[in-house]
Amino acid sequence: MSTSPMNVVVGVAGGIAAYKACHVVRHFKEAGHQVRVVPTAAALNFVGAATFEALSGNPVSATVFDAVDEVQHVRVGKEADLVVIAPATADLLARMAHGCADDLLTTTLLVATCPVVVAPAMHTEMWEHPATQANVELLRSRGVIVLEPAHGRLTGNDTGPGRLLDPEQIVTLALAANASTSFRRDLEGKRVLITAGGTQEHIDPVRYIGNHSSGRQAYALAELAAQRGAEVSIVAANTEVLPTPAGAVVARVRSARDLQEAVFERAENQDVILMVAAVADVRPAEVAETKLKKGANDAQLQQLTLKENPDILRSLVQARDSGGMKAQPLIVGFAAETGSKERDALDLAREKLKRKGCDLLMFNEVSGDQVFGKLRNRGVLLGSDGSETPVADGTKLEVAGVILDEIAERLRRDS
């Protein structure tokens, strides 16, 4: 992700979500970028120019007839390194698609040659209308990155797709889009199942055995896969604090056996399954109904009898290879390894790939607390065909981009 300061134009169209543009501006400013807000006249009915001026530290105008001597309608677009429109209404999408230039925002868009990222917000009917969808398709075919809107509560009592993404998500996605080419719509219509988080195996009502995993890498994969056109389902083990990625459906589970059941319920029709979750290898043979007390239950606490959990990844591969699934999903495993004097971590991952039988295995080294809960990742993507693709250090969204590039390429080859 680019960290050098950029000139970011934040375009704001006239919808109720315009107030969230204030947070978009703040996030860009906090990340060290220069921001110029260009609202439409309608947007100024929702948020006043003074607010945008104070937040951005720059003058705000909606029309080409302000500061005419500065030829703003050309200058703002030319100087922009990134244009982000949040929210974009159905009307603005239509005007963009048809090259209208009747205010400062649309003229800026015609002049700008930098990446343009659009976050739509409107009622579901308007989003799903064939006219809007055709405009979105046309804009995407021209390289504009139109983000999928979130699914959720809209103004009034309705819910559905059309809600503006969270401002922080918009900024993260826009910066990632600007830094890479990973926003192609190359997973359009593909069904992708992603497991996330770490399972918890109950000892008693308050204690559990579990694995470290924030779920961030899985959520970044889900976020990006949905933005690349996939239908994404997440089976999430204990990831409550993370916001649901736009366009993804989340099923929540706790233990390895819950996760296994939820995955197998959904596995049948998937094109891709990514087993990102950290699955606890063992669980207590018995779960105590009441909290085990130290004195009274010393023996029970100190000598827990453990049972091995099912190997979900291995059994998915077996089910697929024995013809037990309608689709033939590409199956991807994840291995967080620590090396030792005797064993190289990458070698352990190579062995694991063979043992699990999956098509790809994303290996990362976790010695010294390098990955868990952090915002960055790196590693090597190992293929069952012997391929080894180094994944450079980057944000989890950037790492997700490399993994999804490889997956999209394999799906394309196999189709």
Catalytically active residues, by annotation: 211
Burial of 116 by CB count in 10 Å (0-12 exposed, 13-18 middle, 19+ buried)? buried
Count of residues in the chain? 415
Spatial CA neighbour of 98 closest among 65, 142, 61: 142
* Among residues 85, 93, 119, 312, the one that binds ligand CTP under rule CB under 6 A: 312
- Shortest reach from residue 60's CB to ligand CTP, in Å: 49
Is residue 221 a contact point for ligand CTP (CB under 6 A)? no
Q: Which residues are CB-neighbours of 261 under 8 A, at least 6 positions away?
A: 253
| Part of the chain binding ligand CTP (CB under 6 A), chosen from 29-37, 186-194, 237-245, 306-314 | 306-314
* Among residues 313, 330, 391, 402, the one that binds ligand CTP under rule CB under 6 A: 313
E strand or H helix that includes residue 355: helix 345-356
Size of the site for ligand CTP (CB under 6 A): 13
For ligand CTP, which is the closer residue by CB, 72 or 260?
Answer: 260
What is each CA distance from 124 to 118, 145, 164, 374, in whole angstroms? 17, 20, 11, 35
* Among residues 275, 400, 407, 408, the one that binds ligand CTP under rule CB under 6 A: 275
- Shortest reach from residue 321's CB to ligand CTP, in Å: 15
Is residue 261 a contact point for ligand CTP (CB under 6 A)? no
d(CA 403, CA 397): 10
Is residue 242 a contact point for ligand CTP (CB under 6 A)? no
Is residue 217 a contact point for ligand CTP (CB under 6 A)? no
- Shortest reach from residue 184's CB to ligand CTP, in Å: 25
- Annotated binding-site residues for CTP read 281, 291, 310-313, 334, 352, 356
For ligand CTP, which is the closer residue by CB, 61 or 364?
Answer: 364
* Among residues 53, 91, 258, 311, the one that binds ligand CTP under rule CB under 6 A: 311
- Shortest reach from residue 403's CB to ligand CTP, in Å: 12
d(CA 298, CA 198): 27
Is residue 253 a contact point for ligand CTP (CB under 6 A)? no
Spatial CA neighbour of 10 closest among 34, 27, 29, 35: 35
d(CA 175, CA 251): 29
- Shortest reach from residue 349's CB to ligand CTP, in Å: 8
What is each CA distance from 178 to 28, 81, 164, in whole angstroms? 13, 9, 20
Tokens of 402: 């490399």
Interface contacts to ligand CTP, rule CB under 6 A: 256, 275, 277, 279, 281, 309, 311-313, 333-335, 356
